[in-house]
Structure 1
Amino acid sequence: MPANESAPSAKKKGRRARLIVLLLVLALLAGLGYGAYWTVDSVRASYPETTGEIRLKGLAGRVEVKRDAHGIPQLYADSDEDLFRAQGYVHAQDRFWEMDVRRHMTSGRLSEMFGGGQVETDAFLRTLGWRRVAETEYNTKLSPQTKKYLQAYADGVNAWLQGRSGKDLSVEHAALKLTEDYAPEQWTPVDSVAWLKAMAWDLRGNMQDEIDRSLMSSRLTKAQIDELYPPYPFDRNRPIVTGGGVDSATGKYDPQGASGSGSSSGNGSGSSLRGAGQGLRTQLTALSETLDEIPAILGPNGSGIGSNSWVVSGRHTTTGKPLLANDPHLAPQLPSVWYQMGLHCRTVSASCQYDVAGFTFSGMPGVVIGHNQDIAWGMTNLGADVTDLYLEQVRPEGYVYDGKTLPFTTREEVIKVAGGASKKITVRTTNNGPLVSDRSDELATVGERAPVAGSAPDRGTGYAVALRWTALDPGRSMDAVFKLNRARDFKEFRAAARDFEVPSQNLIYADNKGATGNIGYQAPGRIPVRTTGDGRMPAPGWDSKYAWKKFVPQDELPFDYNPKRGFIVTANQAVIQSGEDKYPYTLTTDWGYGARSQRINDLIEAKIKDGGKVSTDDMRTMQTDNSSEIATLLTPILSKIQIDDPDVREAQRLLEGWNYTQEPDSAAAAYFNAVWRNILQLAFGDKMPKELRIEGRCLNVRADASGPADDLSELVRECGQRDEDSAQPDGGDRWFEVVRNLIKDEKSAWWHSPATRLDPASTTRDQLFARAMKDARWELTAKLGKDTGTWSWGRLHRLTLKNQTIGTEGPGFMQWLLNRGPWNLGGGEATVNATGWNAASGYSVTWVPSMRMVVNLNDLDKSRWINLTGASGHAYNSHYTDQTDLWAKGELLDWAFSKEAVDKATEDTLVLKP
């Protein structure tokens, strides 16, 4: 379910009403209002059996499931299929509610569980067709071996399901069964494959930026938009790969070789869409609102979807072999999206090939991030531009392409609704992809406002928006997971990466071969090369010049192996510099801006300077680094501004001598971040188009304007006063770069802010900063009290873990039952310890390091890991959030891998027998 709901609409009221019914049933089950109907034994009915023996149909031999003190299982088997059958069984034991909800989401069937409030979400997901693509992948693309593993996994899940219903599955299933007699279907291999589509959707790259830039063009000039989307600072923040190119003789990328030439970026497409005008803007506004309603399994798409990973060569470590760290930044969820597990063949052989451990996804076989006996790997989001929006000219009989009208490819989808009537939709597809704009009722009048005669795009002549996305093409990413799990060296690792088509991830590598081991990096993915255009703005779908030409050849994607510097850092920064005499392909122009990556680079370089060595604990300490880049830039300026108001001056003094670290108990961090949020609002929020993210009134007075304003101060004057509903920047590291580039221009029009009843207009940087400091002082007075001595960043910056369905809405007592927290956290936006927050909505934690790991390639049993929550998805189980306190403190658990270490850590053993 979407976690961040806005003002109730009819749709949201319907969904909320449905959930309230479930909540009341849960209250009854919990015995809160109607007696002890739900006994302790009944609550425990769904808990996993962790000791004794269970017969499991289909097994060829015995499988041992050994769990440690935190309920983390290590599985031992004698064949691959037994191993994955047991993995399915164990995942279902702990996380079946999560798995069941997830497969309904990926197939566009949430309405079958939660009623009519989910129909629009289901309709959009059916339009994308994740499930249909997953079926095609399973039937036509995946290897026979992978299909066997997927079937074995499904058999294991179904073995656990057999004979269970209601409270035997979970408390949430019990509520559904009593309200609508819900019973889950059998698990299928396609249910597992479809998960990769949801993962790819959340990590899809710059689609929202593409929409936002187009919407900005209605009120801002190209130069102004460019100021808000500055180029990556290659002179300051190191990319992942710092040299090399594609060798023209071999056609292969050489990280140390001669650079390639040319660029595929082409020209922007904005000029070709001028005729679309208001029609396009209305389409994109509605599409943006629709996207906000789609459940984000991994997190909110945008600056928060990131991760850190880095690897240090054995030449620079205290162990003499590589150390590899990874912490993906995703939405906080309860349970965590990750599930820790080990998959071990008692004897590795041709019939049993796996000895691997790490972080898995419930509902999918294999290990996603972790290590085997030879190598370790981690992932961060590459952020490649793999989506393009196309504005289509549509007619009653089809869509226009190169002057001809072609027929739509159509299909009907029936959405079943729990407790209500089914809804039928028609999905229309062009050669650029499905018409995603068909799924918004708000588009009914677009054709009337578009500069093309006719009715709305979904009813006749007009415009519509199609989505071209690599994940809608069947691929082999599931094959890649198993190849990664089996890889023994860098050659096999790269071979596995070739199949990792979507989502495009930075893959980091280490092994234990030779005297000091080896480290490496590979950029995989199906990344388009555009014939014309650079993907920054929606393209004209009627012109074949804007079609995708090809995909970047896998042999030409950037990689690195044992670089001279002795370490590799990936944290969503630019992979490599493209352009003339550099890398010949444009992977994206919307990188993260390198605040985190460069800080990690600096920390490693400082540690190894003059022969120093990096330890496992050093890696852990780096993961929890709280230093703020934007505070380092702005605090010296803020500290020098003349402040007359004694109360504001008292707050300003908090910044004096501050070291720019955002610890939970820091009053200075609290005040600075409040100042930063107010700077963003004053400088940028009132100047954004009303359609951008948040509905606003400020610019409505310019609705009859013919085009962008040439002078930003004109927009400010016409607003008249600050508008609380205007579009607020999210405060990510793109905004760090925007402000860095403006900071020396003290009279930039961006520093202009209108007068209010209490404040005069600002026309210079320092005037706006002084006003932001005043506003921040009174904002924190309201939130934390007048005494600045009681302020702390952690009191503002809190994490509450919410059950991702029932726990996101409803009465407070039910949230108390299902949710956990709050935790007062340090860290912040674009900080290595990336406890992100969105300046548009407040200071609460919106994305987190969803897990942390440090792999020691010299002694794998000395590796360490932690999960955001715990192994269990059952709300009252002792392993529901038993790792969260340690996680919040930046601590890690010992990670046993060898048979001896696992046996020593084992507290419960379950034997699965044929």
Structure 2
Amino acid sequence: MPPNTTATTGDKPGKSGRKKGRRARLLVLVLVLAVLGGVFYGAYWSVSTVRASLPQTKGSITLDGLAGPVTVKRDGYGIPQIYASTDEDLFMAQGYVQAQDRFYEMDVRRHMTAGRLSEMFGKSQVKADEFLRTLGWDRVAKEEYDTKLSAATKKYLQAYSKGVNAYLQGKNGKDISLEYAALGFVNDYKPEQWTPVDSVSWLKAMAWDLRGNMQDEIDRALMTSRLGPQQIKDLYPDYPYSRNKAIVQQGQYDEVTKTFQSGSASGSGSSTTTGGSSATSSAGSALTSQLEGLYNVLDGVPTAVGVNGQGIGSNSWVVGGDYTITGKPLLANDPHLSASLPSVWYQMGLHCTTISSKCQYDVTGYTFAGMPGVIIGHNADIAWGMTNSGVDVTDLYLEKLSGDGYLYDGKTKPFTTRTETIKVAGGASKEIVIRQTADGMPLLSDRDDELVQVGKRATVDTAAPDRGDGYGIALRWTALDPGTTMDAVFALDKASDWDSFRQAAAQFDVPSQNLIYADTKNNIGYTLPGKIPTRSSADDGSIPAPGWDSKYRWTGFIKQDELPYEYNPKRGYIVTANQAVIDKDKYPYTLTTDWGYGTRSQRITDLIESKIKDGGKISTDDMRQMQTDTSSEIAKLLVPRLLKINLDDKDVRAAQKLLEGWDYTQDADSAAAAYFNAVWRNILKLAFGNKLPKELRVKGQCLWVDKVDSTGPVDEDTKVRECGERDADQAQPDGGDRWFEVVRNLMEKPNSDWWKTPAGVGDRNKADNMDELFKRAMIDARWELTAKLGKDIDTWSWGRLHRLFLKNQTLGTDGPGIVQYILNRGPWKLSGGEATVDATGWNAAGGYGVVWVPSMRMVVNLDDLDKSKWINLTGASGHAFSAHYTDQTGKWADGELLPWSFSDKAVDKGTSDTLVLKP
């Protein structure tokens, strides 16, 4: 569950008109940052500015509001461990220290959650702000703070805010960070005081990027414009329960008590999964036009922790003491999220000098800058990890608009409305009207004028209501209801056993996460918390529903006692990697129709089983090595078939031979991995790219093909780039593990229409079956890599294609090279790949570059917590000139872990800097 921080400030490519004002500001930034950094224009003013913004980590600082002294100990990587005598002092110090390292990041985040990015970055962010205001994250967070959170949680949030504001006191922009110094020359922006709601709001942004199957819901609906039911089923195959095991394998739902019982694995419940009717069947073209417009709106929304519309995931697993060399559990976690700079995670420890009623915490792990507490980690008794459960907590509704309202069960109901003002740095403010239904669903389609007009003009089937002015798209989402997740964070941090852990987890309502557990008494477990809706038999949530019919509305929420869990299963380990939570025949509720397909989870299971067979035991380093496993499951399936393809071209045959004897590992220096992944990408492009609806299109890279020559074939030196309609203006699969399953199933149908494709340029390589398409993909991949990596295959490597660039998520994402030089880092040539355990993900629609990553890695040793290990993607600091900006990245890229001290003795031994905060 973790964040890519913030929004970009640049416009999309091709919108040159919008960029003029931004370019002018960036010219100023070039000069300012060059002066500040001293990169090209000497050291004038740079030394004092850089030193002013870097945190003080030694000596002492007086903070008004502390009850007693607080000690902050930092190790050689700048990771802080805080020691205090009261809870309030502990969280106040946490706010102060996080602000020292990351306040600019925190400030951008809160402007994102409040829909106020335009106040910092100008008119380029107005569209994003309009959509974010429509969702109303900060409004829900305020209601959550006012009405839902416990008195203790409010007290801790207030203490944290007091610490952040103590850091801000007396500082101007350049004292805080280089970014503020630069922005100060563009507008008169000044940071505001931090509030408790600023912290709570971030939970909404986090939930948005981990919201489940909304993208699949849109895609399936758009596919109906061109594909039939069986074709759509081909592209969304059933989860392979018999091959890739669900998380919960022991236990069942009890129909009598209406609870889930973690016991014998026998028995089954009745599934309520249905095909469901949808808005698609009753108002076809209206929905298609609305959803196509919604794509454009969503593309402009900044990411928080994930990649919008991408199949991100995470790994976590726990092995019980019977199978470890220590005799106590080992727990591993590595959430897969967008790569960002600084990292989405912040490592720290929070320690009470004496555990008592007035100081209750002794916890260490990963949190987010801007939030008190620890999100993932361990305390003295238990450890826990998280992966995104993927349960379906969002539904889109096609609303029939009528006058000033919307149709519902034959009657027109009025929208509730509010007007909000968006302030724009360097420009005029803008007012927007936000409409939502009586049950709180915002009308997303109001944020795109063209979308609204298209909806009004749309022709609909006779089954649709025939009165009114048009159609709109509304969103039902659990995170738009006030919740208690912030309470859960503090409860998890001080939980001491399975029962208190489960009670804490029950408050973690959004985003729904898979939570794994281990304790020092040799127990392991798993629980699925979350606010998860129930639906009527008319709807399974897989596609948008007609909003005018009440039978498609949610019927309630699954009770906590009904949700699946496991405790000390007989097999001795638990694996979660976004696969199905439980077999569908053992559970009466539909949690989602869009699980991850279990590629990573089954690979982890196989690795564990191979270690423990014949009495083997697992070590901490074994867990680390499993985290860095790069084996490609789709290669294991395809390569034997690819090696049987007869190829005439000697150069293509030479590439084919790279696959002979390949062990399917995707190391950065592997030429075979480079060629296979290019073949895989071209298989997807040829089989599916020109057959999916244009509304789904993603601009992909063009193929390198033979130059058209009437005299016959030409050699590779005359290959040319072909950007015809077939390649550049078509939908492209992203290549995730759903596509693994699609291709696996279609390989049993070698003459399927999916394998048929027209001839390429020069009227060559027409494919009429699977093997012919594979042959063409192997040829195209050879020439694509010739263009990218050179003719000599001995120089090829996966890492030359599969590179990670770390970019500051605001001023580092656009503009002249000097800005990027100062703020950004990379590239790193990475091993791993899509749907591998070492999930350095890439999107086959756009190339081979790394899109999401294991954002951190940890292994907790419950026998000796000081022998636990951890690593972050970047470093503790958000300051570009700090030694801790990216000081962990090289080790992270190499699959290494750092020592993770917990006891007072171990922390003292590793301490480099000590700061005392005095009352």
TM-score by length of 2: 0.94
Structure 2 partner of 1:487: 495
Alpha-carbon deviations, 1:105-161, whole Å to 9, x = none? 000000000000100100000000000000000000000000000000000000000
- The answer as to 2:439 corresponding to 1:434 is no
Structure 2 partner of 1:826: 831
Secondary structure at the aligned position of 1:682 is classed as helix
Alpha-carbon deviations, 1:679-701, whole Å to 9, x = none? 000000100101114379x9xxx
Structure 2 partner of 1:548: 554
Secondary structure at the aligned position of 2:698 is classed as coil
**Relative to structure 1, is the Cα distance of residues 334 and 557 closer, same or farther in structure 2, using a 3 angstrom cutoff?**
same
1:386–1:470 contact (8 Å) kept in structure 2: yes
Structure 1 partner of 2:542: 536
1:152-191 equivalence runs, <5 A: 152-191=159-198
In the aligned structure 1, how far is the partner of 2:322 from the partner of 2:583?
Answer: 27
2:9–2:125 contact (8 Å) kept in structure 1: no
Q: 1:286: how far off?
A: 1.1
1:719-798 equivalence runs, <5 A: 722-758=726-762, 759-798=764-803
**Relative to structure 1, is the Cα distance of residues 38 and 693 closer, same or farther in structure 2, using a 3 angstrom cutoff?**
farther
1:651-730 equivalence runs, <5 A: 651-694=655-698, 722-730=726-734
* 1:321 aligned partner, one-letter code: K
- The answer as to 2:479 corresponding to 1:471 is yes
* 2:588 aligned partner, one-letter code: P
Q: 1:62: how far off?
A: 0.6
Structure 2 partner of 1:712: none
Alpha-carbon deviations, 1:708-737, whole Å to 9, x = none? xxxxxxxxxxx9973322011000000000
Secondary structure at the aligned position of 2:842 is classed as coil
Q: 1:256: how far off?
A: 1.8
Q: 1:41: how far off?
A: 2.5
Q: 1:274: how far off?
A: 2.9
In the aligned structure 1, how far is the partner of 2:618 from the partner of 2:189?
Answer: 54
Alpha-carbon deviations, 1:488-518, whole Å to 9, x = none? 00000000011000000000000011xxx00
Q: 1:251: how far off?
A: 2.3
- The answer as to 2:128 corresponding to 1:124 is no
**Relative to structure 1, is the Cα distance of residues 246 and 878 closer, same or farther in structure 2, using a 3 angstrom cutoff?**
same
Q: 1:745: how far off?
A: 1.3
Q: 1:302: how far off?
A: 4.5
In the aligned structure 1, how far is the partner of 2:260 from the partner of 2:630?
Answer: 36
* 2:426 aligned partner, one-letter code: G
Q: 1:275: how far off?
A: 3.8
Structure 2 partner of 1:341: 348
Structure 1 partner of 2:425: 418
In the aligned structure 1, how far is the partner of 2:96 from the partner of 2:437?
Answer: 41
Alpha-carbon deviations, 1:846-878, whole Å to 9, x = none? 000000000000000000000000000000100
1:855-894 equivalence runs, <5 A: 855-894=860-899
Structure 2 partner of 1:701: none
Structure 1 partner of 2:13: 7
Partner of residue 906 from structure 2, selected from 896, 901, 907: 901
In the aligned structure 2, how far is the partner of 1:895 from the partner of 1:661?
Answer: 29
In the aligned structure 2, how far is the partner of 1:323 from the partner of 1:385?
Answer: 30
Q: 1:233: how far off?
A: 0.2
1:65–1:73 contact (8 Å) kept in structure 2: yes
Q: 1:181: how far off?
A: 1.8
- The answer as to 2:458 corresponding to 1:450 is yes
* 2:409 aligned partner, one-letter code: D
* 1:722 aligned partner, one-letter code: R
Q: 1:13: how far off?
A: 2.5
Instruction: State percent identity of aligned pairs.
Output: 68
How many residue pairs align between the two structures?
884
In the aligned structure 2, how far is the partner of 1:93 from the partner of 1:19?
Answer: 27
1:648–1:773 contact (8 Å) kept in structure 2: yes
**Relative to structure 1, is the Cα distance of residues 786 and 292 closer, same or farther in structure 2, using a 3 angstrom cutoff?**
same
In the aligned structure 1, how far is the partner of 2:234 from the partner of 2:11?
Answer: 31
1:326-365 equivalence runs, <5 A: 326-365=333-372
Secondary structure at the aligned position of 2:730 is classed as coil
Secondary structure at the aligned position of 2:186 is classed as helix
Q: 1:675: how far off?
A: 0.3
In the aligned structure 2, how far is the partner of 1:2 from the partner of 1:388?
Answer: 27
Structure 1 partner of 2:415: 408
Q: 1:22: how far off?
A: 5.5
Alpha-carbon deviations, 1:571-597, whole Å to 9, x = none? 000000124xx2111110100000000
Partner of residue 319 from structure 2, selected from 312, 319, 324: 312
1:862–1:896 contact (8 Å) kept in structure 2: yes
Q: 1:27: how far off?
A: 3.1
**Relative to structure 1, is the Cα distance of residues 504 and 693 closer, same or farther in structure 2, using a 3 angstrom cutoff?**
farther
Q: 1:441: how far off?
A: 2.6
1:289–1:693 contact (8 Å) kept in structure 2: no
Partner of residue 374 from structure 1, selected from 353, 372, 381: 381
* 1:811 aligned partner, one-letter code: P
Alpha-carbon deviations, 1:337-356, whole Å to 9, x = none? 00100000011111100000
Q: 1:262: how far off?
A: 2.9
**Relative to structure 1, is the Cα distance of residues 5 and 690 closer, same or farther in structure 2, using a 3 angstrom cutoff?**
farther
In the aligned structure 1, how far is the partner of 2:799 from the partner of 2:133?
Answer: 41
Secondary structure at the aligned position of 1:262 is classed as coil
Structure 2 partner of 1:627: 631
Partner of residue 200 from structure 2, selected from 168, 181, 193: 193
* 1:609 aligned partner, one-letter code: K
* 1:543 aligned partner, one-letter code: D
Q: 1:259: how far off?
A: 4.3
* 2:175 aligned partner, one-letter code: D
1:503-514 equivalence runs, <5 A: 503-513=511-521
1:798–1:822 contact (8 Å) kept in structure 2: yes
Secondary structure at the aligned position of 1:133 is classed as helix
RMSD: 2.0
Report the more deviating stretch, 875-884 or 258-267. 258-267
**Relative to structure 1, is the Cα distance of residues 464 and 354 closer, same or farther in structure 2, using a 3 angstrom cutoff?**
same
Q: 1:26: how far off?
A: 2.3
Secondary structure at the aligned position of 2:643 is classed as helix
Partner of residue 68 from structure 1, selected from 70, 75, 80: 75
Structure 2 partner of 1:388: 395
In the aligned structure 2, how far is the partner of 1:49 from the partner of 1:198?
Answer: 31
Structure 2 partner of 1:714: none
**Relative to structure 1, is the Cα distance of residues 578 and 2 closer, same or farther in structure 2, using a 3 angstrom cutoff?**
farther
Structure 1 residue runs of 5 or longer lacking an equivalent are 699-718
In the aligned structure 1, how far is the partner of 2:15 from the partner of 2:272?
Answer: 44
1:521-532 equivalence runs, <5 A: 521-531=526-536, 532=538
Secondary structure at the aligned position of 1:847 is classed as strand
* 1:616 aligned partner, one-letter code: T
Q: 1:407: how far off?
A: 0.4
1:19–1:810 contact (8 Å) kept in structure 2: no
Alpha-carbon deviations, 1:767-812, whole Å to 9, x = none? 1001000100000001100000000000000001001101111112
Structure 2 residue runs of 5 or longer lacking an equivalent are 1-6, 703-722
TM-score by length of 1: 0.94
In the aligned structure 2, how far is the partner of 1:138 from the partner of 1:92?
Answer: 22
In the aligned structure 2, how far is the partner of 1:684 from the partner of 1:881?
Answer: 39
Q: 1:364: how far off?
A: 0.2
- The answer as to 2:31 corresponding to 1:44 is no
1:208–1:288 contact (8 Å) kept in structure 2: no
Partner of residue 232 from structure 1, selected from 226, 239, 244: 239
Q: 1:303: how far off?
A: 4.7
1:308–1:328 contact (8 Å) kept in structure 2: yes
In the aligned structure 2, how far is the partner of 1:510 from the partner of 1:116?
Answer: 49
- The answer as to 2:224 corresponding to 1:220 is no
Alpha-carbon deviations, 1:172-226, whole Å to 9, x = none? 0111112212110000000000000000000000000000000001000011001
